[in-house]
Chain A
Amino acid sequence: MDDLPPFTSTPVDAIPPIHQRVVAKFHAHETRTFAYRLKQLRQLYWGLKDEEPALLEAAKLDLGKSAYETYLTELGWELNDILFMCKNLERFMKDEKAEDTSLMNLAMGPRIRKDPLGAVLIIGAYNFPFMLSLGPLVGAIAAGCTAVLKPSEHAPNAARIMQHIITQSLDPEAYQVVQGGVPETTALLDCKWDKIFYTGGVGVGTIIAKKAAETLTPVALELGGRNPAIVTKSADPRLAARRLLWAKLVNAGQVCVSQNYILVDRAILPAFLQELETALRDFQPKGARQSEDYGKIVNERQWQRLKDMLDSTHGKILFGGSTDKDSLFFEPTVVQVDSADDPLLKDESFGPLIPILPVADLDEAIRTANAVHATPLALYPFGSKADTAKILAQTRSGGASINDAFFHASIPTLAFGGVGDSGSGAYRGRASFECFTHRRSVTTTPRWVEGLLDVRYPPYTAAKLKKVKGMMDTKPDFDRQGRSTGGLVWWFIGLGGKGKTGAGARWVVVVALVAVVARFWRGRDVL
């Protein structure tokens, strides 16, 4: 890290030329070829691989992240992501045959081309400074876009090393890093992009969405949410406690997809709390403060926000609660709250707070979750199959892990994104490619069909209308009340029976009859 220049904001007046440069490069159409994309991805891989020590150090400096966490959720993750993309890119880029095309239209070969969206802007976040910056960038490169990345200024060391790597490994005409905070971001947003990919909070996300809307620029917003975990009385209290506690230890709870609060059925509450305590001792035998695995809060402003939040609760602290401003330490803290209006449930805590709200039953849990936030980023139902299925069917969320905390978000190939105000657009795995790709519907009309197309040209005669109706009309298989009527073919297939069981019974009878007749016939032959 010492070899790198200190974190320096990009001069604001240098930003429009940078934008110009990557736009011009896109219009050269060179970034569209498979070979170009692959070359960039491969170089980025080695650029990252060769800087492993510096990357680990940067995450340690910025967030006190252990090498284990940085490798698992950032560096190793991203390296694998690049290899996955390299391996599958050719397949992703291929034209797709359009689905469900009727016989009539097959002659025009309807297909979906995968075109790059253009020059894109990616704004990273501080909590996973590498993954949340490089993940979208890999998608943009794979899709054939050019891009400018603005890493989060709150993880300045990670930002420095990323700038170094990108400058070293990627085509400088097409890929650039802009460093800075609000003024630099504002300058970037003043330029016209073909897509803006932002990871962060709702406040800035809304500013970006409004700015983008002025020029009809599409956005992918990876925001957060007041994600509920629901522990029903049919849940395994030990597993629920271990898994949910773990989610709040990773990156000291600074994970947009971790649960913001836990709704626990009163019947299981004592067992659940006891298991939480056991798990905490398991994971941090010497306590959180002494644990080398446990990160710190990113900066004093965030630390203070969390402290104020904790001070404002009307709930009761059950475990934890100790903090240290100097080292930005914040202990994992379990708080039992008594109302859905508690400040801990009103905001996304984005830290190691674990508020628990006891509920009377599953219906109350679902109602409460929908009232606290109707469209969170994720949802974590714990319980029997029936309970968890009901929870999924009566809620909305970006994603969900059943009987676990954010497992769905730890599968590198599973599309990840929010819904409603927790975000729009998804990425990761193939979705990263799709996120920066336009699916362009294309047909080719051959010369020889002109005779058949005659029907579409004026003058429109009654004969033409009749011909069109004959060609295109399909018949309904239901009546005015919406009941299925079935067609002649189905009558034969089902032997006139109503529904599958009726048809099945008739077929059984027919088969039995045939068997009897056959046996009788053969028997007579022998005689």
Chain B
Amino acid sequence: MLLAMIHLAMADLPPFTPTPLEAIPAVHARVVAKFHTHTTRPLAYRLKQLRTLYWALKDAEPALLAACAQDLGKSAYETYLMELGWQLNDILFVCKNLQRWMKEERAPDTSLLNLAMRPRIRKDPLGAVLIIGAYNFPLMLSLGPLVGAIAAGCTAVLKPSESAPHAARVLQHVIEQALDPEGYAVVQGAVAETTALLARKWDKIFYTGGVAVGTIVARKAAETLTPVALELGGRNPAIVTRNADPRLAARRLLWAKLVNAGQVCVSQNYILVDAEILPRFLAELAIALAEFFPDGARHSASYARIINLRQWQRLVALLASTDGTILLGGETDEQTLFIAPTVIQLSSPLDPLLQQETFGPLLPILPVPDLPTAIATANTIHATPLAIYPFGTPAETSLILSSTRSGGASINDAFFHASIPTLPFGGVGDSGTGAYRGRASFDCFSHRRSVTTTPAWVERLLAVRYPPYTAAKLAQVKRTMDARPDFDRAGNVRGGWVWWFVGLGGRGKGAAGVRWVLVAVIAVVVRIMRARM
């Protein structure tokens, strides 16, 4: 009972209620005004917000676990590992490092000439920002960016996903309890409320979700030249070459589609498998599935459900539209929004399962004759996915990386790169723009402001820049600034005279070394001779 008083339960919270549309401009004005007081900029303010947020989350643990179970059927294990525990650690990590990140950086590669002006990079907050969360990881994808915004000294409005209403309720409560209400607010709602939010001028918009809404956000933001971070999805390929370990590839790729019932933007959308290894890979998939769900997926407490009926229907329709053969799974249940992990063997890259992001527990497999075909197919299906998963030898996986593009990549694994909380995470091209997590979350909401200070005493040295411009001044400028090329018109390296001396006229390091050895030998010989005389 005592615990219940400290620890928040879902029943203590008001039901999910959209924010009245007419209240939204005032919320925006409030956080903008707060930013302009400049009081969110000091380290102490940011730290205080982060620390109180930490304890509010920590104390709301039971409610947060319950909310994710209600919204997505997520097991406590998954919620803790990928949402709550993740986020708590993230906050502590930021608290620990914030002072270091906020420090001015010395500009790199400054020439001697400009050192007197001390070129440096200040980290300024971008301003008042809007964060739009997603339903699949309702806590991490909302709080991760929010922690970055707070760390950077920004003020922020968070709109959690209305598709995970229970998580949204707890988030609102936690944020209202923990954070400065002048600087941080939650707006609840769907399309209408989001539209009202997008009608305001923000200093950055951080959106996680699909390409369609992402494009709407980007277009709206472009009207006012507002920068965006878009965390979208993609038709992410996994490529299993003939030299891959079939057991590890199967276990790891299957796992990626069990987490959150495959509702993970960074999980593979399809698997290209070398035909040679296909039978063994399929056999290993069946073994792994039996191992992970000994009583079947439907009865496993570890396996989540599809977020809502609309998404469930979309997935079922998608599954019905394929021309492939279902090898494993295929069971669905509308009542519980259950879809079993389903392995489908396809015969064509044009299959509907490869034309869109499935965002569910489907594992379409397309056999390919060789690695070049796999690479060409992956580039054709989606040239800039969020991630890519090559399985094979170092030579093969490095060929895959250097012939493709993607937001990130895990070699010989499924989305491991996305499970390191400090590693920048983001897409490329139409799978997203901007990265966050770890230090990148701070950078995402910071402006790197280049600053110099010109002292009074350099005025004499600066005389060269002032008119009247004379031939002497031009000559002086050329003398002080011009660097010399060390290559000729054909692009071949041609060392300078210093290098000639250093290398004793030898071409390349080997020749120079030989000459030096020769000189040393001669010197020793001369010395010995002289000693004898």
Q: Establish whether residues A482 and B485, one from each chain, have CB atoms under 8 Å apart when the complex forms.
A: no
Interface residue? B52 (CB, 8 A) = yes
Q: For the complex of A and B, list the 5 residue pairs with the smallest distance between their C-beta atoms, beginning with the closest.
A: A445-B413, A404-B454, A460-B77, A68-B469, A458-B302
Nearest CB of chain B from residue A511's CB, rounded to whole Å: 28
Q: How far is the CA of A282 from the CA of B467 in the complex (A)?
A: 8
Q: How far is the CA of A487 from the CA of B384 in the complex (A)?
A: 46
Contact of A76 among B122, B449, B481 (CB under 8 A): B481
Complex interface: chain A residues within 8 A of B448 (CB)? 415, 426
Q: Establish whether residues A403 and B454, one from each chain, have CB atoms under 8 Å apart when the complex forms.
A: yes
Q: How far is the CA of A415 from the CA of B443 in the complex (A)?
A: 15
Nearest CB of chain B from residue A487's CB, rounded to whole Å: 12
Q: Establish whether residues B406 and A460, one from each chain, have CB atoms under 8 Å apart when the complex forms.
A: no
Q: A27-B379, A80-B481, A403-B454 are in contact. Are A443 and B429 (CB under 8 A)?
A: no
Q: Establish whether residues B95 and A242, one from each chain, have CB atoms under 8 Å apart when the complex forms.
A: no
Interface residue? A133 (CB, 8 A) = no
Q: Establish whether residues A213 and B219, one from each chain, have CB atoms under 8 Å apart when the complex forms.
A: yes
Q: Other than the known A414-B114, A424-B227, what 19 A-B pairs have Cβ atoms closer than 8 Å? A: A68-B473, A80-B483, A205-B225, A218-B433, A246-B467, A249-B467, A396-B126, A396-B449, A397-B449, A408-B452, A411-B452, A419-B124, A439-B435, A445-B411, A447-B245, A465-B81, A473-B88, A476-B51, A482-B52
Cβ contacts A to B, 20 pairs, < 8 Å: A29-B403, A39-B491, A71-B478, A76-B477, A76-B481, A100-B439, A216-B211, A249-B467, A284-B468, A374-B127, A396-B127, A400-B451, A411-B114, A414-B114, A441-B435, A444-B411, A457-B255, A458-B292, A459-B293, A474-B89
Q: How far is the CA of A370 from the CA of B522 in the complex (A)?
A: 73
Complex interface: chain B residues within 8 A of A402 (CB)? 451-454
Stretch at the interface among B320-328, B356-364, B415-423, B525-533: B415-423
Q: Establish whether residues A212 and B222, one from each chain, have CB atoms under 8 Å apart when the complex forms.
A: yes
Residues from 168 to 193 in A contacting B, C-beta threshold 8 Å: none
Q: Establish whether residues B214 and A216, one from each chain, have CB atoms under 8 Å apart when the complex forms.
A: yes
Nearest CB of chain B from residue A275's CB, rounded to whole Å: 13
Q: A67-B474, A459-B293, A460-B77 are in contact. Are A408 and B424 (CB under 8 A)?
A: no
Stretch at the interface among B22-30, B103-111, B505-513: B103-111
Interface residue? B221 (CB, 8 A) = yes
Q: Establish whether residues B412 and A445, one from each chain, have CB atoms under 8 Å apart when the complex forms.
A: yes
Instruction: Mark A390-411 against chain B: 1 for CB-CB distance below 8 A, else 0.
Output: 0011101111111110011001
Interface residues of A (CB under 8 A from B): 27, 29, 32, 38-39, 42-43, 45-46, 49, 66-69, 71-72, 76, 79-80, 83-84, 86, 88, 98-102, 105, 108, 110, 112-113, 115, 117-118, 194, 202, 205-206, 209-210, 212-218, 221, 223, 236, 239, 242-243, 246, 249, 282-285, 291-294, 370, 374-375, 388, 392-394, 396-404, 407-408, 411, 413-416, 419-421, 424, 426, 429-430, 438-447, 450, 456-460, 464-465, 468-469, 472-476, 478-482
Q: How far is the CA of A472 from the CA of B51 in the complex (A)?
A: 19
Q: A450-B248, A460-B77, A465-B76 are in contact. Are A442 and B451 (CB under 8 A)?
A: no
Q: Establish whether residues B420 and A101, one from each chain, have CB atoms under 8 Å apart when the complex forms.
A: yes
Interface residue? B119 (CB, 8 A) = yes
Q: A42-B485, A115-B405, A420-B127 are in contact. Are A408 and B109 (CB under 8 A)?
A: no
Nearest CB of chain A from residue B265's CB, rounded to whole Å: 15
In the complex, the chain B residue whose C-beta lies closest to that of A67 is B474
Q: Establish whether residues B423 and A414, one from each chain, have CB atoms under 8 Å apart when the complex forms.
A: no
Q: Establish whether residues A38 and B491, one from each chain, have CB atoms under 8 Å apart when the complex forms.
A: yes
Q: A459-B300, A478-B51 are in contact. Are A424 and B108 (CB under 8 A)?
A: no
Residues from 295 to 346 in B contacting A, C-beta threshold 8 Å: 300-303
Q: Establish whether residues B36 and A370, one from each chain, have CB atoms under 8 Å apart when the complex forms.
A: yes
Q: Establish whether residues A407 and B77, one from each chain, have CB atoms under 8 Å apart when the complex forms.
A: no
Q: A246-B465, A402-B453, A459-B293 are in contact. Are A468 and B81 (CB under 8 A)?
A: yes
Q: Establish whether residues B423 and A110, one from each chain, have CB atoms under 8 Å apart when the complex forms.
A: yes
Q: How far is the CA of A408 from the CA of B41 in the complex (A)?
A: 23
Contact of B402 among A32, A118, A397 (CB under 8 A): A32
Residue from A46, A72, A482 with most neighbouring chain B CB atoms (10 Å)? A482
Q: Establish whether residues A84 and B109, one from each chain, have CB atoms under 8 Å apart when the complex forms.
A: yes
Q: Establish whether residues A285 and B468, one from each chain, have CB atoms under 8 Å apart when the complex forms.
A: yes
Complex interface: chain B residues within 8 A of A213 (CB)? 215, 218-219, 221-222
Instruction: Mark B197-235 against chain A: 1 for CB-CB distance below 8 A, else 0.
Output: 000000100000001001100110111111100101000
Complex interface: chain B residues within 8 A of A415 (CB)? 107, 121, 448, 450
Q: Establish whether residues A441 and B92, one from each chain, have CB atoms under 8 Å apart when the complex forms.
A: no
Q: Establish whether residues B423 and A101, one from each chain, have CB atoms under 8 Å apart when the complex forms.
A: yes
Q: How far is the CA of A293 from the CA of B467 in the complex (A)?
A: 7
Q: Establish whether residues B429 and A421, one from each chain, have CB atoms under 8 Å apart when the complex forms.
A: no
Complex interface: chain B residues within 8 A of A414 (CB)? 107, 110, 114, 119, 450, 452
Q: Establish whether residues A43 and B477, one from each chain, have CB atoms under 8 Å apart when the complex forms.
A: no
Interface residue? B274 (CB, 8 A) = no
Complex interface: chain A residues within 8 A of B119 (CB)? 408, 411, 413-414
Q: How far is the CA of A69 from the CA of B292 in the complex (A)?
A: 70
Nearest CB of chain A from residue B144's CB, rounded to whole Å: 15
Q: Establish whether residues B303 and A458, one from each chain, have CB atoms under 8 Å apart when the complex forms.
A: yes
Contact of B109 among A43, A88, A223 (CB under 8 A): A88
Complex interface: chain A residues within 8 A of B420 (CB)? 98, 101, 105, 108, 110, 443
Nearest CB of chain A from residue B124's CB, rounded to whole Å: 6
Residues from 32 to 89 in B contacting A, C-beta threshold 8 Å: 36, 38, 41, 47-48, 51-52, 54-55, 75-78, 80-81, 85-86, 88-89
Residue from A69, A456, A481 with most neighbouring chain B CB atoms (10 Å)? A456
Complex interface: chain A residues within 8 A of B497 (CB)? none
Complex interface: chain A residues within 8 A of B487 (CB)? 42, 45, 86
Complex interface: chain B residues within 8 A of A442 (CB)? 401, 408-411, 417
Interface residue? B407 (CB, 8 A) = yes
Residue from B301, B384, B424, B453 with most neighbouring chain A CB atoms (10 Å)? B453
Q: Establish whether residues B449 and A401, one from each chain, have CB atoms under 8 Å apart when the complex forms.
A: no
Interface residue? B461 (CB, 8 A) = no
Q: Establish whether residues B454 and A206, one from each chain, have CB atoms under 8 Å apart when the complex forms.
A: no
Q: Establish whether residues A118 and B405, one from each chain, have CB atoms under 8 Å apart when the complex forms.
A: yes
Q: How far is the CA of A246 from the CA of B303 in the complex (A)?
A: 69
Instruction: Mark B440-470 against chain A: 1 for CB-CB distance below 8 A, else 0.
Output: 0000000111111111100100000111110
Q: How far is the CA of A69 from the CA of B406 in the complex (A)?
A: 43
Q: Establish whether residues A68 and B477, one from each chain, have CB atoms under 8 Å apart when the complex forms.
A: yes
Q: How far is the CA of A283 from the CA of B219 in the complex (A)?
A: 47
Contact of A216 among B226, B255, B433 (CB under 8 A): B433
Complex interface: chain B residues within 8 A of A202 (CB)? 225
Interface residue? B93 (CB, 8 A) = yes
Q: Establish whether residues B491 and A43, one from each chain, have CB atoms under 8 Å apart when the complex forms.
A: yes
Nearest CB of chain B from residue A112's CB, rounded to whole Å: 7
Residue from A99, A374, A401, A458 with most neighbouring chain B CB atoms (10 Å)? A458
Q: How far is the CA of A176 from the CA of B446 in the complex (A)?
A: 35
Q: How far is the CA of A396 from the CA of B227 in the complex (A)?
A: 15
In the complex, the chain B residue whose C-beta lies closest to that of A404 is B454
Complex interface: chain A residues within 8 A of B523 (CB)? none
Q: How far is the CA of A202 from the CA of B456 in the complex (A)?
A: 35
Q: Establish whether residues A293 and B468, one from each chain, have CB atoms under 8 Å apart when the complex forms.
A: yes
Nearest CB of chain B from residue A184's CB, rounded to whole Å: 21
Interface residue? B186 (CB, 8 A) = no
Complex interface: chain B residues within 8 A of A399 (CB)? 449-451
